[in-house]
Amino acid sequence: MKNSLLLILVLTVMAIACNKDKFTTEPIVEVKSISPGIVNNGDIITLKSRYTDDEGDLDSIYVVYKWYNGTAIVRNDTFRYPVSILNLPTNLREADMDVVFEYNTNNNPELVPLPGVSLRDTSATFGLVLIDKASHRSNYAESEKIRLKKP
């Protein structure tokens, strides 16, 4: 009898753990990819990512730019943008999103210009942090390194 109760208890705990909701009050962001891998003057950079947020109340997005000299970070900038730059419907609990930048030109005013452009070849990563209307902050997610060619 004790073994039967123990088995039922273990199975119940496992069932509850497996059914844990993937949505949390704090947003969760995951960077899926960044392209192209080598960026020339005027190229468009697309950072593909995915987020979840239980309330679907995203307010802003922080984009973290890191410029590298080999393996050392030589510059680190963070810029805040309204979530409206993502052109997503409101109140989504989860969605794929693309953050799109223009490298060293301003030919497309609807795109986010890439600030702090280096005057020599360098590599860079791009990170994301999401903030919701209740000021809950997501995790930090960062892209792979890409190569930025000098203008």
- Provide the CATH number for the domain around residue 101: 2.60.40.10
Domain count for the chain, please give it: 1
Per the listing, tokens 């390194």 go with: 145
Question: Does 86 map to a domain?
Answer: yes
| Phi-psi group of 91: left, alpha or beta (phi > 0 → left; psi -120 to 50 → alpha; rest → beta) | left
Whole-model pTM: value is: 0.78
Question: Does 110 map to a domain?
Answer: yes
Question: Does 10 map to a domain?
Answer: no
Domain span at 127? 22-148
Question: Does 102 map to a domain?
Answer: yes
Containing H/E element for 27?
none
Residue 26 CA, chain-centre distance (Å), reads 14
Residue 87 contacts residue 29 (beta carbons within 8 Å)? no
pLDDT, residue 1, reads 54
pLDDT: which is higher, 3 or 53: 53
Q: What average pLDDT score do residues 46-68 get?
A: 92
Confidence bin at 33 (pLDDT 50/70/90): very high
pLDDT, residue 122, reads 87
Residue 19 contacts residue 98 (beta carbons within 8 Å)? no
Question: Does 89 map to a domain?
Answer: yes
Q: What average pLDDT score do residues 88-117 get?
A: 81
Containing H/E element for 97?
strand 94-102
Question: Does 134 map to a domain?
Answer: yes
Question: Does 4 map to a domain?
Answer: no
